[in-house]
Amino acid sequence: MTMSSSLRREVTHFQPRLAIDEAMTPPASWYTWPDFFERERETVFAQNWQFACPLDKVRENGQYVRVDVQGETYVILRDENGDMRGFHNVCRHHAAQLVVGEGCAEELVCPYHGWTYGLDGVLKSAPQMGAMKGFKRMRFALPPVEVEVWGPLVFFHPGTPERPFAESFADLGPRLNAFGSAALMHVTRRRYPMNCNWKVFVDNYLDGGYHIAHLHRGLASQLSMDSYATQVFDMHSVQTCASNATPKNSEGHDFKERIGRGSIYAFLYPNFMINRYGPIMDTNWVLPIDATHCEVVFDYWFPAKEGAEAERFIEQSLAASDRVQQEDIAISESVQRGLRSRSYNTGRYAPALEIAMHHFHRLLSSDLTEV
Ligand SMILES: [Fe+2]
């Protein structure tokens, strides 16, 4: 789809070549216009690596999960040979969705008219289609998508990847492995619906810790904010912060224990975050719903989940995480309301802090302006 002139004007309102200390932030239309949302669907979410699920969900042969991202639906599975595969989750007959949720199966059977696909995506049988002229079963395989397992996480690419996953995020693997990420177990998932554009939440995450001292007082007391640092790479950015060796904060939330020796916040463009706090990890998957709504899916990973001590630690960590998340939701929804105001169109960047946010907007600008 070619862009309308009004959409093009809004996309190019942000000037990616300007340095951070000169640049204006993207205009409010980026966060409010339905046309903008559609443009993202055709570009940002069609041509970048996407999170699929925790590896624990597709460990056994035949296990599958449905993954819905930005109006598209996919099925990610492990076939009978143990190989990971992914497909568009849409029947080639009349477009019904093949799988609902997750499960384990030997074949994918469409609930509408019984068209049956192998775990390799090939159409095995199509009841009563025999007499149709020119119908070649083999031409009706499910369109595949590329799948990549990375530590305890599964990703896929909805289009044609320019580079393998590991190359796109080259610096990140060793850094996360140093934390022992691959050995972590998936413990639980929480979903947070939010009344804001998905990029408002991402921007908040990428402000270089700017908001922590103001919005997350409990968290701030456990972080050594002077050590906060941001690095940007090709398709990702990394924020790091050392922990502060103070005792439990006055509100009884044991952030220190949760944070351990420090934290690392990795952002994988366009909508996935990996957070390491000492021994544990959580991932945040930001799913656009429409121009002014999104949902953030939190997955929590721990080194152990059995036993009273592990359970206590998990419970405390989840409570601390939820508190921070509620603060982030409230401010993100406040920003979304402000973006609708007649008084506001664009803002500025804090040049020493909001480096990863500026990087995010440059990547978006590049994807959005593509012909
Ligand atoms: Fe925050």
Domains parsed from the chain with CATH numbers: 50-160 (2.102.10.10), 167-368 (3.90.380.10)
pLDDT for the residue 69: 96
Q: Residue 3's pLDDT band (boundaries 50, 70, 90)?
A: confident
Ligand 1 centre to CA of 20 (Å) is 21
CA–CA distance from 64 to each of 98, 116, 119, 122, 137 (Å)? 11, 15, 9, 16, 23
DSSP H or E segment with residue 104: strand 102-104
Distance (Å) from CA 209 to ligand 1 centroid: 8
Q: Average the pLDDT over 357-364 and give the result.
A: 98
Torsion of CA 276, 280, 284, 285, to 10 degrees: 110
Cα–ligand 1 centroid distance for 328 (angstroms)? 5
Predicted confidence band of residue 278 (pLDDT cuts 50, 70, 90): confident
224 vs 213: CA distance, rounded Å: 11
Q: How far is the CA of 71 from the centre of ligand 1 (A)?
A: 27
Percent of the chain whose predicted confidence (pLDDT) is above 70? 94
Whole-number Å distance, alpha carbon 282 to ligand 1 midpoint, is 14
- What pLDDT is attached to residue 261? 61
The rounded Å distance from CA 55 to ligand 1 centre is 27
Check residue 197 and give its pLDDT.
Answer: 98
Distance of CA 204 from the midpoint of ligand 1 (Å): 6
Read off the DSSP letter of residue 97: B
Query: Which range has the worst mean pLDDT, 56-65, 84-93, 173-182, 285-294?
Result: 173-182
Q: Is 57 helix (H, G, I), strand (E, B) or coil?
A: helix
What pairing do the DSSP bridges indicate for beta strands 262-268 and 116-118? unpaired
- What contacts 24+ positions apart, CB below 8 Å, involve 57-65? 57/102, 57/154, 57/186, 58/84, 58/154, 60/104, 62/104, 62/105, 62/106, 62/119, 63/102, 63/103, 63/104, 64/99, 64/102, 64/103, 64/104, 64/105, 64/108, 65/101, 65/102
Q: What is the pLDDT of residue 204?
A: 98
Alpha-carbon 326 to chain mean position: 18
Identify whether the C-beta of residue 71 lies closer than 8 Å to the C-beta of residue 65.
no
Query: 107 alpha carbon to ligand 1 midpoint, in Å?
Result: 43
Q: How far is the CA of 236 from the centre of ligand 1 (A)?
A: 18
pLDDT tens-digit series, residues 10-47: 999 999 999 999 999 999 999 999 999 999 999 999 99
| pTM of the entire predicted model | 0.93
Tokens of 165: 């996953």
What are the tens digits of pLDDT across the range 287-309? Answer: 999 999 999 999 999 988 899 99
Task: Give the chain's mean pLDDT.
Answer: 91
Asked if 118 and 105 count as a contact pair (C-beta separation under 8 A), the reply is no
Above 70 in pLDDT, residue 51?
A: yes
Average pLDDT over residues 346-358: 97
Residues with CB under 5 A from ligand 1 (ion): 328
In which band, very low, low, confident or very high, does the pLDDT at 217 lie, cut at 50, 70 and 90?
A: confident
Two structure tokens written together for 361: 């907007």
Work out whether the CA dihedral 298, 302, 304, 307 comes out positive or negative: negative
Closest CA to 78 of 94, 57, 64: 64
Q: Is 80 exceeded by the pLDDT of residue 212?
A: yes
| pLDDT: which is higher, 238 or 218 | 238
Question: What pLDDT, on a 0 to 100 scale, did the predictor assign at position 252?
Answer: 39
Q: Which amino acid is at 306?
A: E
233-271 pLDDT tens trace? 999 999 998 877 544 443 434 444 455 567 889 999 999
Question: How many whole angstroms from 323 Cα to the centroid of ligand 1?
Answer: 10
